[in-house]
Homo-oligomer: A and B are copies of this chain.
């Protein structure tokens, strides 16, 4: 895996892995994979995220150019969030691959975790 070594050296790998450093960001990205969603729908789709953290996470995704925000004026206000091209490429590539890996290896992973918590 030669590319990764380069990536470590110049920290570009960290630039990418940092996108997954916040608990809810990847989940929000996955939730947006189906298409644009209103803020409140995102909130319930994801489940268990607070208003504050939701806003922070969305702002971060905005700032990283992974998500777009559209205000449809009026009352009550309506705001849609959608993946950008960059966001889509991240979701359809690495995140999807991670989803596949999870399906294939969740058992082993949970096994290992259980084993290690029995023998601390």
Closest to A22 in B: B21
Inter-chain contact A99/B31, CB cutoff 8 Å: no
Query: For chain A, what secondary structure do more than half of its interface residues adopt (helix, strand, loop), or is it mixed?
Result: helix
**Known interface pairs A97-B94, A109-B64. Does A5 touch B34 (Cβ–Cβ under 8 Å)?**
yes
- Once A8-B31, A16-B98, A34-B5 are accepted as A-B contacts, the answer to whether A108 and B93 lie under 8 Å apart by CB is no
Cα distance A103–B1 in the bound complex, in angstroms: 13
A15 neighbours in B (Cβ, 8 Å): 102, 106, 109-110
A5 and B95 CA atoms in complex are apart in Å by 12
Q: Which of A18-56 contact B (CB under 8 A)?
A: 18, 20-21, 23, 26-27, 30-31, 33-34, 45-47
Output the least CB separation between A20 and chain B (Å): 4
Chain A interfacial residues counted at CB < 8 A: 58
CB proximity of A109 to chain B, nearest CB, Å: 6
Measured CA separation A96–B93 after assembly (Å): 11
If A27-B13, A93-B101 touch, whether A33 touches B4 (CB-CB below 8 Å) is yes
